[in-house]
């Protein structure tokens, strides 16, 4: 009776996951979708607590303790994190899920080992699944942690590198698979094999992410998220648990397609992202030593903006770092009062994650209908008088269109040079996150406004006010 | 090989479910506006915390003296809960701001 109740609970949880994911893909229902998925998770956890088991001491106290500690840490972390650090946070959470998969599969494998050593047998399928869960979970764990380190700026792409990453990764991957194959064929081999497979998997997670440039981290986090889903699903096979299997696979497949969508937005294949990253190659960098970027004064910029008909703001990661979204909105309202049409051009990969800019601008109360996606923006840019580029770089780099030698060649960009004037707000002349020089800065239509984006924009706002 | 075939036929229904779930996940996501990529990734990440169910099962099955299972199981529950609770909470925070915006 209780058993059927548990299965029913799992079924409801899975349905809630599916509806939740569906609703998460529409702006109107997204928040409800997240709550539905969370409810599903709550139901799944509750019924797991009452699932009748053949053996075991239940250890409810430890479970309660673990859930209490985890909830407090998770809740506080989620509440305290700054909007700019969201991608890193998601990466950490994801890594912990992977670590959880490693922990449980390790315990299961130690259990199987005892069975093998006392002459018993475990289904090779189950054994394989547990080993794979440990492998995939391990890669998700260390990979996500490294992605966090790169996004947080703790690890410098240019310094932390390995020679011949493709070869190293291939060797590691093959030795993990060979190790799993060997352990399956010779289950009585000592536990050292299992530990070795785990350690190499953890190392592989690191070497997998090391060669990938910081600009590609969103893609990597999305991919590692899919890995955690797959690890959960594999663990679900080990425990013959439907909610783990279906929930994990849903994340695995939706995470994979989301990864592919992100790659498509950059006009690159997933393989291309994984093998050679931006920012880590940097071979086509800077041939512009003798070129000089021209500066613009605040007053000139204020006048230029005040007497325009149409202004388009292109936000990038720099806006997030400087927390300049509110002052962007202020500038927008001020100019609108003067009859200037102001809109925002959002590149799909602006910032550190797709949708990053939308979240930040929504936070600053910028109206939805002012946000233009790539295609609409490129149409609107042709009629724009001034484009203000706030901390964006690679997404407006014209060499993606003109220079076949550039590492970002072929990536769709916001073609800001269609507009009459462009103003780039930037702290210095250093290249963007991808480590690629940007010829836009030296273009005759462009002027630079150096300084912190928030600071420059506030000064610009007061300058425009003084114009009356 | 024989073992694997045995595993396959024993879990045939499970494997059907798996295949259908792969296609379902694909269909659910393939039409998402860019605006929602980040919250969606975050929400999906929270769902992948479902691995916590495994940790609960593991620790419930463990005998009182099995310190390896007890310690790693507790650790697994802590990590899994952080993923689930933190993941949903962070997603809600992102979406909260969209909501406030739409109200205006």
Same domain, residue pair B26 and B56: no
Q: Which residues of chain B make contact with A55, given a CB cutoff of 8 A?
A: 61, 63
Same domain, residue pair B61 and B13: no
pLDDT in tens, B6-46: 778 887 887 888 888 889 888 888 777 766 778 888 999 99
d(CA A37, CA B97): 19
Q: Residue A396 — φ and ψ, nearest 5°?
A: -120, 15
At A317, which CATH number? Answer: 3.40.50.1220
* Domain of residue B27, residue span: 1-31
d(CA A279, CA A394): 11
Please indicate if any CB of chain A lies within 8 Å of the CB of B12: no
Q: Which of A167, A436, A62, A398 is nearest to A285 (CA)?
A: A436
Could you say which of A100, A125, A258 has the minimum Cβ distance to residue B55?
A100
In tens digits, what is the pLDDT along chain A, a chain of 468 residues?
A: 888 999 999 999 999 999 999 998 887 788 999 999 999 999 999 999 999 888 888 899 999 999 999 999 999 999 998 877 888 899 999 999 999 999 999 999 999 999 998 888 888 888 999 999 999 999 999 999 999 998 888 888 777 788 888 889 999 999 999 999 999 998 888 999 999 999 999 999 999 998 887 777 888 999 999 999 999 999 998 998 989 999 999 999 999 988 888 777 666 778 877 775 444 443 333 334 446 778 888 888 888 888 888 999 999 888 888 888 889 999 999 999 888 999 999 988 887 777 788 888 888 888 888 899 888 899 899 889 999 999 888 889 888 888 877 777 788 889 998 998 999 998 877 766 666 778 888 888 898 888 888 889 999 998 888 876
Q: At what angle do helices B37-48 and B87-103 cross, to 10 degrees?
A: 150
Same domain, residue pair B59 and B26: no
Same domain, residue pair B67 and B81: yes
| A233 HSE (CA, 13 A, CB side) | 24
Same domain, residue pair A194 and A269: yes
Say what the pLDDT of residue B34 is.
66
Say what the pLDDT of residue B96 is.
79
| Structural tokens at position B58 | 């593991």
Same domain, residue pair A458 and A385: yes
Report in angstroms the alpha-carbon separations of A217 from A181, A285, B70, B97. Answer: 31, 20, 35, 24
Q: Could A232 and B50 be called an inter-chain contact, meaning their C-beta atoms sit closer than 8 Å?
A: yes
d(CA A424, CA A320): 15
Q: Which of B26, B82, B92, B101 is the best substitution to test chain A (most A C-beta atoms within 10 A)?
A: B82
Please indicate if any CB of chain A lies within 8 Å of the CB of B67: no
Q: Could A258 and B74 be called an inter-chain contact, meaning their C-beta atoms sit closer than 8 Å?
A: no
Q: Which of A90, A226, A329 is the best substitution to test chain B (most B C-beta atoms within 10 A)?
A: A90
Q: Which of A185, A179, A184, A222 is nearest to A204 (CA)?
A: A179
Q: Which residues of chain B make contact with A29, given a CB cutoff of 8 A?
A: none
Same domain, residue pair B60 and B93: yes
Same domain, residue pair B43 and B79: yes
Q: Could A353 and B38 be called an inter-chain contact, meaning their C-beta atoms sit closer than 8 Å?
A: yes
Say what the pLDDT of residue A433 is.
62
Complex ipTM, two decimals?
A: 0.90
Q: Is residue A212 part of a domain?
A: yes
| Structural tokens at position A109 | 């494998």
Same domain, residue pair A346 and A201: no
Same domain, residue pair B45 and B68: yes
Say what the pLDDT of residue A278 is.
45
Same domain, residue pair B43 and B26: no
* Domain of residue A62, residue span: 1-80
Domain boundary among the residues A249, A281, A313 is at: A281
Q: Is residue A293 part of a domain?
A: no
Same domain, residue pair B42 and B79: yes
Same domain, residue pair A204 and A243: yes
d(CA A229, CA A231): 5
Same domain, residue pair A209 and A230: yes
Domain boundary among the residues A227, A246, A281 is at: A281
Same domain, residue pair A327 and A432: yes
Q: Which residues of chain B make contact with A231, given a CB cutoff of 8 A?
A: 51
Q: Which of A281, A290, A295 is nearest to A214 (CA)?
A: A281
Q: Which residues of chain A make contact with B64, given a CB cutoff of 8 A?
A: 57, 59
Same domain, residue pair A441 and A308: yes
Q: Is residue A289 part of a domain?
A: no
For residue A394, indicate whether it is catalytic.
yes
d(CA A131, CA B49): 19
d(CA A205, CA A197): 12
CB A190 within 8 A of CB A197: no
- How many domains does chain A divide into? 3
Please indicate if any CB of chain A lies within 8 Å of the CB of B15: no
d(CA A144, CA A236): 22
Say what the pLDDT of residue A93 is.
95
Q: Is residue A292 part of a domain?
A: no
Q: Which residues of chain B make contact with A251, given a CB cutoff of 8 A?
A: 25, 44-45, 47-48, 50
Please indicate if any CB of chain A lies within 8 Å of the CB of B14: yes
Could you say which of A103, A262, A355 has the minimum Cβ distance to residue B55?
A103
Same domain, residue pair A238 and A313: no
Q: What is the least distance, in Å, from the CA of B26 to any CA of chain A?
A: 5
Could you say which of B14, B35, B85 has the minimum Cβ distance to residue A71?
B85
Tell me the three-class secondary structure of chain A, residue by residue.
CHHHHHHHHHHHHHHHHHHHHHHHCCCCCHHHHHHHHHHHHHHHHHHHHHCCCCCCCCCHHHHHHHHHHHHHHHHHHHHHCCHHHHHHHHHHHHHHHHHHHHHHHHHHHHHHHHHHHCCCCCCHHHHHHHHHHHHHHHHHHHHHHHHHHHHHCCCCCCCCCCCCHHHHHHHHHHHHHHHHHHHHHCCCCCCHHHHHHHHHHHHHHHHHHCCCCHHHHHHHHHHHHHHHHHHHHHHHHHCCCHHHHHHHHHHHHHHHHHHHHHHHHCCCCHHHHHHCCCCCCCCCCCCCCCCCCCECCHHHHHHHHHCCCEEEEEECHHHHHHCCHHHHHHHHHHHHHCCCEEEEECCCCCCCCCCHHHHHHHHCCCCHHHEECHHHHHHHHCCCCEEEEECCCHHHCCHHHHCCCCCCCCCCCCCHHHCCEEEEEECCCCCCCCCCCCHHHHCCCEEEEECCHHHHHHHHHHHHHHHC
Q: Which residues of chain A make contact with B32, given a CB cutoff of 8 A?
A: 25, 258, 261
Nearest chain A alpha carbon to B60: A58
d(CA A324, CA A453): 6
Same domain, residue pair B45 and B75: yes
Same domain, residue pair A243 and A335: no
Catalytic site residue from A394, A403, A452, A455: A394
Same domain, residue pair B27 and B51: no
Please indicate if any CB of chain A lies within 8 Å of the CB of B78: yes
CB A29 within 8 A of CB B36: no
| A426 HSE (CA, 13 A, CB side) | 24
Same domain, residue pair A219 and A258: yes
Q: Is residue A394 part of a domain?
A: yes
Q: Is residue A304 part of a domain?
A: yes
- How many domains does chain B divide into? 2
Same domain, residue pair B18 and B52: no
3-state SS, residue B33: coil
Residues 6+ apart with CB under 8 A from A167: none
Same domain, residue pair A67 and A95: no
Q: Between A263 and B86, whose confidence is greater?
A: B86
Domain boundary among the residues A19, A45, A80 is at: A80
Same domain, residue pair A76 and A121: no
Report in angstroms the alpha-carbon separations of A249 from A25, A53, A237, A291, B51. Answer: 18, 25, 11, 52, 11
């Amino acid at each position: 009776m209780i058993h059927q109740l548990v299965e029913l609970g799992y079924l409801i949880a899975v349905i809630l996951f599916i509806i939740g994911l569906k609703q998460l893909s529409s702006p109107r229902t997204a928040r409800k979708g997240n709550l539905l998925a969370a409810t599903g998770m709550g139901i799944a956890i509750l019924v797991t607590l009452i699932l009748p088991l053949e053996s075991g001491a239940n250890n409810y106290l430890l479970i309660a303790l673990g859930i209490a500690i985890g909830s407090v840490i998770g809740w506080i972390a989620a509440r305290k994190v700054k909007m700019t650090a969201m991608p890193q946070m998601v990466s950490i959470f994801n890594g912990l899920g992977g670590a959880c998969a490693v922990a449980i599969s390790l315990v299961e494998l130690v259990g199987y080992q005892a069975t093998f050593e006392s002459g018993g047998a475990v289904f090779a399928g189950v054994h394989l699944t547990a080993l794979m869960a440990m492998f995939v979970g391990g890669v998700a764990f260390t990979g996500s942690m490294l992605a966090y380190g790169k996004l947080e700026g703790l690890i410098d792409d240019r310094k932390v590198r390995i020679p011949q990453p493709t070869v190293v990764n291939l060797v590691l991957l093959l030795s993990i698979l060979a190790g799993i194959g060997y352990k399956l064929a010779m289950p009585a081999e000592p536990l050292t094999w299992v530990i070795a497979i785990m350690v190499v998997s953890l190392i592989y997670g690191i070497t997998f992410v090391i060669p990938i440039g910081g600009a590609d981290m969103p893609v990597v986090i999305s991919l590692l998220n899919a890995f955690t889903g797959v690890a959960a699903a594999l663990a679900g096979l080990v425990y013959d648990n439907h909610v783990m299997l279906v929930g994990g696979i849903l994340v695995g497949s939706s995470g994979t397609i989301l990864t592919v969508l992100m790659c498509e937005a950059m006009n690159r294949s997933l393989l291309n992202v994984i093998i050679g990253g931006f920012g880590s190659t940097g071979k086509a960098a800077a041939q512009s030593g003798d070129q000089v970027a021209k500066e613009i004064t605040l007053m000139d910029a204020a006048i230029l903006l005040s007497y325009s008909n149409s202004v388009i703001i292109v936000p990038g990661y720099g806006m997030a770092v400087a927390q300049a979204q509110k002052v962007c909105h202020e500038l927008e309202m001020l100019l609108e009062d003067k009859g200037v049409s102001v809109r925002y051009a959002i590149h799909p990969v602006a910032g550190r994650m797709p949708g990053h800019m939308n979240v930040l601008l929504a936070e600053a109360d910028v109206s939805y209908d002012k946000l233009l996606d790539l295609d609409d923006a490129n149409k609107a840019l042709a009629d724009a008088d001034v484009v203000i580029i706030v901390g964006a770089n690679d997404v407006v780099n014209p060499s993606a269109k003109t220079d076949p030698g550039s590492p970002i060649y072929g990536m769709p960009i916001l073609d800001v040079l269609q507009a009459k004037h462009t103003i780039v707000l930037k702290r210095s002349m250093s290249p963007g996150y991808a480590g690629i020089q940007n010829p836009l800065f030296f273009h005759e239509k462009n002027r630079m406004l150096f300084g912190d984006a928030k600071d420059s924009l506030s000064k610009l706002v007061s300058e425009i006010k003084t114009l009356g | 090989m024989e073992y694997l075939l045995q595993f396959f036929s024993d879990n045939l229904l499970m494997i059907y479910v798996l295949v259908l779930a792969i296609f379902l996940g694909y269909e659910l996501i393939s039409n998402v506006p860019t605006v929602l990529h980040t919250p969606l990734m975050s929400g999906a990440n929270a769902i992948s915390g479902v691995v916590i169910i495994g940790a609960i099962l593991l620790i419930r099955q463990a005998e009182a003296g099995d310190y390896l299972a007890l310690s790693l199981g507790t650790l697994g529950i802590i990590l899994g809960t952080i993923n689930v609770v933190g993941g949903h909470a962070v997603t809600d925070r992102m979406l909260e701001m969209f909501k406030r915006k739409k109200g205006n």
